[in-house]
Structure 1
Amino acid sequence: MSEDEKTPAREVITDYAQAHFRYFRTADGTVYAQKNGHPVARPIRSQGTTGSHRQELMVGLFRDGVGVFNGTALKEALDLIEALALTEDVQPTHIRVAPGFDGATWLDLGRADGQSVRIHPTGWDITTPDPREVCWRRTQLTGELPLPARDTDGKGIDLLLRLCNFASAETECLALAWLIGCLGPSVPVPAPFLTGPQGAGKSTGGRMLVRIIEGMSGDLRRAPKDEENLIAAVAAGWVTALDNLSHLTPDLSDAVCCIVTGAESVKRALFTDGDVFRVGYRRPLLLTGIDVGVIRGDLAERLLPLRLERPRVRRTEAELWTEFEEILPVVLGSLLDLTVKVRAAEAETPTDLRMADFAHLCAQLDAATGFGALAAYRASLDDLNDDVIEGDLLAQTVLQHAASMEPGAAQRMTSTEWLYHLSRLYAGEELRPLPKGWPTTGKVLSDRLKRLQPTLAARGVLIDSGRTREGRYLEMTRQAPQPPQEQGEVF
């Protein structure tokens, strides 16, 4: 055969690739490859250490006896495949959990054979998902989970709670609600903050909760120094756990808020002048520490305090984790059973809480089990509001002024007038110096009060703003006492 009659190497590679892989694109334009019949997708441009599609393609060509090709031929073939895939339908990829057809959700077990758990309205099954229903994306943070045990009769929940040092039954049911929320791809869940005295096993308890979802390779990590590194870590996994926090900077506090409820980051694409790429993220977070200092009001609404106590009997790390690994299939099976039961329960959605989806989940858990998760969640938010107020002298001064107002009364002034009035109230007759961080202008005061609105509203003080012909104003209203809630009425 003459040289002119030979099929170019790039065409040989392209024909083989299209016969053995399915190519598609995501909404951001990234092209992925899926081996036929397998749910795991790899970006064709990836050079990651978890295995790139280029490596996968080279191995397939060699093992099937097609040949060994140089880098130029592979590059030309992948360039063509990428161009062709950009005309295909858009399909998302998911890490660890994903929505499915007919109201089902999926849990990726991280196995090489692609077996996953399908959680549907009538139960759960272990199966390999149709690649057109679910496309899994895996990274180095994607650990392997064991096959969950069946017919556990709730035994796994008892085994888990026996290993954790939760201080109360209310804390236990909130931890269970959070774990169930982590199995839902569309339910924003507050970030558990494991706290307690030294030696209470906060880090160990955090690892246990994380490893139920992420496998035995899941672990805690130090908080990154900047938001960019935090987002990179969050985007590469499902549950992100930050250990031993002693202080939350304003930037990190804002980042945590965005991660819990969802946000999007837009950055310039590498090696381009004007193109960008989008990174959307909403992930479950877990935090541990004795105390994080002053908590801002917007973060307090997104935290879930879980208090631990010191264990009566100490165990070695090796003994503890050996037992945990042994019971993990039973724990996971019991959690899946409980998840199906909770999702089938009917309950009203509380409309007065910021994290309404999680509040509804707590109400469903109560309806399915008789726990007091919703009441415990409300009590935890009240405690966090107290923490916010105790750490903010401005909030304390506002509440002091509101206490002098008649119930139901409203008072309206400009922000500058409010600043003068609140500053005099704080200074008092002894003319105490204003503390560091006290607002210095009316604009700063207005911004601070807007951030404190949820915290103050929980204490019956409403802050509103508006404009008249004379200019802008701030209005403070002291709410009248609410009538007693009737039995069975849900808000």
Structure 2
Amino acid sequence: MSEDEKNPAREVITDYAQSHFRYFRTADGTVYAQKNGHPVARPIRSQGTTGSHRQELMVGLFKDGLGVFNGTALKEALDLIEALALSEDVQAVHIRVAPGYDGATWLDLGRSDGQSVRIHPTGWDIAVPDPREVCWRRTQLTGELPLPTKDTNGKGIDLLMRLCNFATAETECLAIAWLIGCLGPSVPVPAPFLTGPQGAGKSTAGRMLLRIVEGMSGDLRRAPKDEENLLAAVAAGWVTALDNLSYMTPDLSDAMCCIVTGAENVKRALFTDGDVFRVGYRRPLLMTGIDVGVIRPDLAERLLPLRLVRPRVRRTEAELWAEYAEVLPVVLGSLLDLTVKVRATEAETPTDLRMADFAHLCAQLDAATGLGVLPAYRAALDDLNDDVIEGDLLAQTVLKHAEGIEPGTALRMTSTEWLHCLSGLYSGEDFRPLPKGWPTTGKVLSDRLKRLQPTLAARGVLIDSGRTREGRYLEMTRSPGTPASEQQAF
């Protein structure tokens, strides 16, 4: 085909695309295409097998009688469109949940007609969002949600709790608070860890919580073997749910901390030597398992333990999920009603908790309903501190040593002196050998104590560090009013 014959095809495609689609770029430079009047945006460079913009453009050209064009003409047209779009205004794309105008947030129902839920402190309604207000990005993990039921009078929450086997009313309240947090695009929420004896329905309850937000196609998955695969799964959906965790490596623990509170990953762009692309992420995370072993202190502050019990009456999978699918519109409607009520309620933000946004949400939920969610959250964190201490001999040794410190008195030594002191306290008069993993140098001890600072502070032992002319020091203080009986010993 001659050059003269290729030019008209390229121009036809470009003119058609610009008249039927809106093209824009995101902050990382990715160009998206959005059909006029529709909120769903697709990256123009996507080569996916289904739903790519290239296929969308080809089908539109064919159905409108403009013909079938070869790949060269399409590529050249899209190259030009992409270059033109790089000078357009920047707009963000969102998966499942997005901020809107006037303090509203949107929930993508995953429907082909673009209908979504607009949530505002004055109420919620179903509408197709203005494409310039909200741009949805969808992947193969974006399931379809049913249209939520209006005026449920809160019965959907009761229906959900009857299907789950949560051990206490406090656990149920924490699960509700987490679901409300999942509907907020700017609220970091702790990761629920559904635990309990074998046969307590942990995976089933995890799927039920997940599918309220992700639809009936949402499912749990095994933890990836490396951080890169984990982040790929996180980027493709809103809620990431990991099933049957039995062991957590330090790398996986650190990755989960980043997922919960947000981080950014920079990678080299494919087929380039110097170009890179940025991937920012903060997602709700859910986990199930009987026990994951020793929990690191930084992850413990980001967890939300939800304990389940074995059901007295067993039901078939088909019967259980049929009932769940039937009540899901009511459950979603009740959750939206409660979310509106919570967002319209004023409450003070607790200043002593790491996940302050979630603690504020718990306080709002308490003010709106009187459920006592914030005390339950504090109690859950206290239990996690116990788990951290029980799994860390150094923390136990420090707490035992603190029993001999007068409350309000600061004891200051170098890290090497502290290592000698604590090692001797652990070994005792019988000089038992130090365990594997015990700090071997003052620097290692200092780093370990810095990581344990929040856990020890929750038990009334404050660790501080500084420098004088003589060198660096570590300072241990037992808080006034902390009885020695509250200290943990080994």
CA displacement, residues 325-380 of structure 1 (integer Å, 9 cap, x when unaligned): 00000000000000000111111100000000000100110111110100000000
Partners of 1:30 and 1:7 in 2: how far apart? 26
Compared with structure 1, are the counterparts of its residues 4 and 450 closer, same or farther at alpha carbon in structure 2 (3 Å cutoff)? Answer: closer
Corresponding position of 1:466: 466
| Kept after mapping to 1: 8 A contact 2:6/2:73 | no
Post-superposition shift, 1:5?
9.5
Partners of 1:482 and 1:127 in 2: how far apart? 55
CA displacement, residues 66-96 of structure 1 (integer Å, 9 cap, x when unaligned): 1111111000000000000000000000000
Corresponding position of 2:22: 22
Kindly report which structure 2 residues correspond to 1:235-250, keeping only aligned pairs within 5 A, or say none: 235-250=235-250
| Kept after mapping to 2: 8 A contact 1:416/1:441 | yes
Compared with structure 1, are the counterparts of its residues 322 and 5 closer, same or farther at alpha carbon in structure 2 (3 Å cutoff)? Answer: closer
- Tell me which stretches of 4 or more aligned residues in structure 1 moved more than 3 Å: 2-7
Corresponding position of 1:486: none
Corresponding position of 1:99: 99
Corresponding position of 1:13: 13
Post-superposition shift, 1:7?
5.8
Corresponding position of 1:192: 192
Partners of 1:386 and 1:178 in 2: how far apart? 22
Partners of 2:389 and 2:5 in 1: how far apart? 81
* Amino acid of the structure 1 residue aligned with 2:310: R
CA displacement, residues 26-77 of structure 1 (integer Å, 9 cap, x when unaligned): 0000000000000000000001234110110000000000111111100000
Partners of 2:20 and 2:42 in 1: how far apart? 14
CA displacement, residues 3-38 of structure 1 (integer Å, 9 cap, x when unaligned): 969962111100000000000000000000000000
Post-superposition shift, 1:165?
0.4
Provide the secondary structure at the position in 2 that maps to 1:8.
Answer: helix
Corresponding position of 2:265: 265
* Amino acid of the structure 1 residue aligned with 2:267: K
Corresponding position of 1:399: 399
Provide the secondary structure at the position in 2 that maps to 1:228.
Answer: helix
Partners of 2:68 and 2:50 in 1: how far apart? 22
Compared with structure 1, are the counterparts of its residues 4 and 377 closer, same or farther at alpha carbon in structure 2 (3 Å cutoff)? Answer: closer
Corresponding position of 1:128: 128
Partners of 1:465 and 1:209 in 2: how far apart? 43
Kindly report which structure 2 residues correspond to 1:84-483, keeping only aligned pairs within 5 A, or say none: 84-481=84-481
* Amino acid of the structure 1 residue aligned with 2:474: L
Percent identity for Structure 1 against Structure 2? 89
Compared with structure 1, are the counterparts of its residues 4 and 417 closer, same or farther at alpha carbon in structure 2 (3 Å cutoff)? Answer: closer
Provide the secondary structure at the position in 2 that maps to 1:465.
Answer: strand
| Kept after mapping to 2: 8 A contact 1:39/1:130 | yes
Partners of 2:155 and 2:354 in 1: how far apart? 33
Compared with structure 1, are the counterparts of its residues 7 and 393 closer, same or farther at alpha carbon in structure 2 (3 Å cutoff)? Answer: closer
* Amino acid of the structure 1 residue aligned with 2:169: A
Partners of 1:23 and 1:236 in 2: how far apart? 21
Greater CA deviation, 244-253 or 474-483? 474-483
CA displacement, residues 198-236 of structure 1 (integer Å, 9 cap, x when unaligned): 110000000000000000000000000000000000000
Provide the secondary structure at the position in 1 that maps to 2:255.
Answer: helix
| Kept after mapping to 2: 8 A contact 1:157/1:335 | yes
Counting matched residue pairs gives 482
Compared with structure 1, are the counterparts of its residues 228 and 127 closer, same or farther at alpha carbon in structure 2 (3 Å cutoff)? Answer: same
Partners of 1:69 and 1:365 in 2: how far apart? 57
CA displacement, residues 155-180 of structure 1 (integer Å, 9 cap, x when unaligned): 10110001010100000000000000
Compared with structure 1, are the counterparts of its residues 50 and 184 closer, same or farther at alpha carbon in structure 2 (3 Å cutoff)? Answer: farther
| Kept after mapping to 2: 8 A contact 1:461/1:478 | yes
Query: What is the TM-score normalised by the length of structure 2?
Result: 0.97
| Kept after mapping to 2: 8 A contact 1:167/1:307 | yes
Partners of 2:7 and 2:223 in 1: how far apart? 54
Partners of 2:4 and 2:372 in 1: how far apart? 78
Post-superposition shift, 1:316?
0.1
CA displacement, residues 372-406 of structure 1 (integer Å, 9 cap, x when unaligned): 10000000000000000000000000001111000
Partners of 1:279 and 1:301 in 2: how far apart? 24
| Unaligned runs of at least 5 residues, structure 2 | 484-490
Compared with structure 1, are the counterparts of its residues 377 and 5 closer, same or farther at alpha carbon in structure 2 (3 Å cutoff)? Answer: closer
Provide the secondary structure at the position in 2 that maps to 1:362.
Answer: helix
Compared with structure 1, are the counterparts of its residues 135 and 410 closer, same or farther at alpha carbon in structure 2 (3 Å cutoff)? Answer: same
Partners of 2:361 and 2:353 in 1: how far apart? 12
* Amino acid of the structure 2 residue aligned with 1:321: W
Partners of 1:246 and 1:168 in 2: how far apart? 24
| Kept after mapping to 1: 8 A contact 2:196/2:307 | yes
Partners of 2:469 and 2:80 in 1: how far apart? 64
| Kept after mapping to 2: 8 A contact 1:342/1:364 | yes
* Amino acid of the structure 2 residue aligned with 1:315: R
Corresponding position of 1:489: none
Post-superposition shift, 1:470?
1.0
Partners of 2:124 and 2:238 in 1: how far apart? 21
| Kept after mapping to 2: 8 A contact 1:50/1:140 | no
Compared with structure 1, are the counterparts of its residues 78 and 408 closer, same or farther at alpha carbon in structure 2 (3 Å cutoff)? Answer: same
Partners of 1:42 and 1:269 in 2: how far apart? 19
| Unaligned runs of at least 5 residues, structure 1 | 484-491
Corresponding position of 2:488: none
* Amino acid of the structure 1 residue aligned with 2:170: E
> CA RMSD for the aligned pairs?
1.3
Query: What is the TM-score normalised by the length of structure 1?
Result: 0.97
Compared with structure 1, are the counterparts of its residues 5 and 283 closer, same or farther at alpha carbon in structure 2 (3 Å cutoff)? Answer: closer
Compared with structure 1, are the counterparts of its residues 448 and 6 closer, same or farther at alpha carbon in structure 2 (3 Å cutoff)? Answer: closer
Partners of 2:293 and 2:435 in 1: how far apart? 17
* Amino acid of the structure 2 residue aligned with 1:220: L
Partners of 1:258 and 1:106 in 2: how far apart? 24
* Amino acid of the structure 1 residue aligned with 2:271: F
Compared with structure 1, are the counterparts of its residues 435 and 69 closer, same or farther at alpha carbon in structure 2 (3 Å cutoff)? Answer: same
CA displacement, residues 117-176 of structure 1 (integer Å, 9 cap, x when unaligned): 000121001000000000000000000000000010001011000101010000000000
Partners of 1:291 and 1:404 in 2: how far apart? 34
| Kept after mapping to 2: 8 A contact 1:50/1:139 | no
Corresponding position of 1:487: none
* Amino acid of the structure 1 residue aligned with 2:432: R
* Amino acid of the structure 2 residue aligned with 1:427: S
Compared with structure 1, are the counterparts of its residues 171 and 3 closer, same or farther at alpha carbon in structure 2 (3 Å cutoff)? Answer: closer
Provide the secondary structure at the position in 1 that maps to 2:426.
Answer: helix
Partners of 2:4 and 2:398 in 1: how far apart? 86
